[in-house]
Structure 1
Amino acid sequence: MDEKLQYNEIIDVCLLAGKIMLQNGAETSRVEDTMVRIAAAFGCADSHSFSTPTGIIFSLDGMHPASKLIRVSQRSTDLHKVTLVNSISRSISGKEMTPEEAFSRLKQIEGAGMGYPLWGQIFAAFIASGCFLIMFQGQWNDFIWSCIAGGMGFSCLLYLHRLLEVRFFAEFIASLVVGLVALFFVNIGVGSHLDTIIIGAVMPLVPGLLITNAARDLIAGHLVSGLSKGADAGLTALAIGAGISAAFFFL
């Protein structure tokens, strides 16, 4: 095989692996480390990787130096895909895969759907909302109402993410729904503590993984990614808070 063509295939494998990981919730340091390890396993010891939340630059040095850039426009959370890419990376390091086989397997992972169906995600948010209410010292008689408010808010979030491409608007409307549902239950007399119902129900909307990755990137020295992810998490939290505040205008 032509050496230059082989270099391009290795870069394609590294970029696709990094793209899948970055799109599905991996921190920047893990993305860059995985890409460099894959290149080294294929015999390219001199490689350079630079990742931000919106793009990846990867280059190889040698007889035929080459660089490529890939954009990352959509991001979600599916740590199962991150685990699968890590598994492929280990297989490559163990000389168990060729670049062609690795690229084909990564394409399959990229095209696969989410690890859990929508109803499973909504049910998890439903139960988690009630559990958060209890964790924040809420009353058991508010458990089901917090579950319903959280489930409805999370359902709204998923629907709006599919329907609209406007950032932070889905979080604002979803938290507004949470606030209105909680107010409804308290006003009709079945809910007793509005604050704990809202706190429990809004927790599935909070960008916990994004906040964690922002802190880990800053600690690892990835200042651009850490600050941008922190800003993203902060604006998301602001949208959630604004939605809850807007709900109180209906009091």
Structure 2
Amino acid sequence: MLTARQVLKVAGLAGKIILTNGAEIYRTEDTIMEICHAYGVDDVESFVTPTGIFLSIDDGEYVHTKLKRVHNRTINLDKISKINNFSRQLQEETLSFQQALAQLQKIEADGPEYSFLTVTSLTSIACAMYVILVRANYINFFPALIASFASQLMIKQSGFLKEINYIPEMIAGFIAGLVAVLFHRFGAANYNLSVVTVSGILAFVPGVSATNAIRDAIDNDLISATSRGTEVILSSISLAAGVALSLGGLNL
């Protein structure tokens, strides 16, 4: 049987992993509660925000509390799926503290399943499909592909700049707009400036964050909904500012 502190460590780490990889607030709290219940802990309270996890367990004699600070967040649905499977596994077979911690640490340390080039290339193709979606001339497909690939490549290779909030989105918007302008000005007359630009920034549109903000609002997690909503607005403004800089810099 695990001690309260050990349960706190396992549940807190699982919650941190899914929260930092794009999970909604309710999913994070439910996962923490399910893990605690699997270890026989019923008197547990969890309070999750986009930047932190507060977890408390009452073992009848003492109240044990743990705080997990979350600084950086990304989108990795594969890790969320693995944590969900881990939580379900505990309902069927209770793992020892060492086994549970080892599994969680492995999930946290796992790198991307596919190579950088594969992910970037396939994402660029998907973004370039916007040309087909809006029924633009197919001649725009290649410029859209290049705009998306160039913006992603620049961000992922930009070093410390990608660690500064909203700067990557601004750079991505600038690169996408710049590529679109170059093709429009020096390429064929049929190149559509707006379609190529939008395709170039699609990979950075905060769609998952917007969806999570709405879900959090529906679940009455107003702090998280407001925080995520603000993040979505600022990311969108940064993308738009980057595009405006590239178009305005070339007087278009």
Q: TM-score range by the shorter chain?
A: over 0.9
Secondary structure of 2:23's match? coil
* Aligned residue identity for 1:202: I
Rounded to whole Å, the distance in 1 between the matches of 2:27 and 2:9 is: 18
Q: CA offset at residue 129 of structure 1?
A: 2.1
Q: 2:218: which partner in 1? A: 219
Matches within 5 A, 1:36-55: 36-55=33-52
3-state secondary structure, aligned to 1:67: strand
The amino acid of 2:82's aligned partner reads L
Is the contact made by 1:146 and 1:201 (CA closer than 8 Å) also made in structure 2? yes
Tell which deviates more after alignment, 37-46 or 117-126: 117-126
1:94, distance to aligned residue in structure 2 (A): 1.0
Q: Give the distance between the partners of 1:241 and 1:44, measured in 2 at CA.
A: 48
1:239 aligns with 2:225: no
Instruction: Find the aligned partners of 1:34 and 1:162 in 2 and give their Cα distance.
Output: 33
Supply the AA of the counterpart residue of 1:228.
S
The corresponding residue for 1:17 is 14
- Any conservation in 1 of the 2:156–2:162 contact (CA below 8 Å)? no
CA distance in 1 between partners of 2:97 and 2:44 (Å): 16
RMSD: 1.5
Q: Spell out the pairing of 1:83-232 with structure 2 (5 A cutoff).
A: 83-160=81-158, 163-190=161-188, 192-232=191-231
Q: How many residues align?
A: 248
**Residue number in structure 1 paired with 2:73:** 75
Structure 1: gaps of 5 or more residues = none
How far is 1:95 from its partner?
2.4
Q: Map Cα deviations across residues 88-111 of structure 1 (whole Å, 9 max, x no partner).
A: 100111124223211110011111
Q: Contact 2:39/2:94 (CA < 8 Å) preserved in 1?
A: no
TM-score normalised by structure 1 residue count: 0.94
Give the residue type in structure 1 aligned to 2:176: V
Cα distance between partner residues in 1 of 2:151 and 2:182: 14
Q: CA deviation at 1:247?
A: 1.0
Mapped to 2, the partners of 1:201 and 1:132 lie a distance apart of 10
Residue 65 (structure 1) aligns with:
63
Does the C-alpha gap of structure 1 residues 52 and 68 become closer, same or farther in structure 2, counting only changes over 3 Å?
A: same
SS in 1 for 2:157: helix
Could you tell me which residue of structure 2 aligns to residue 7 of structure 1?
Answer: 4
Q: Deviation of residue 198 (structure 1)? A: 1.0
State the identity %.
32
Q: 1:4-49: CA deviations, max 9, x gaps?
A: xx11000000000000000101111000000001001100011111
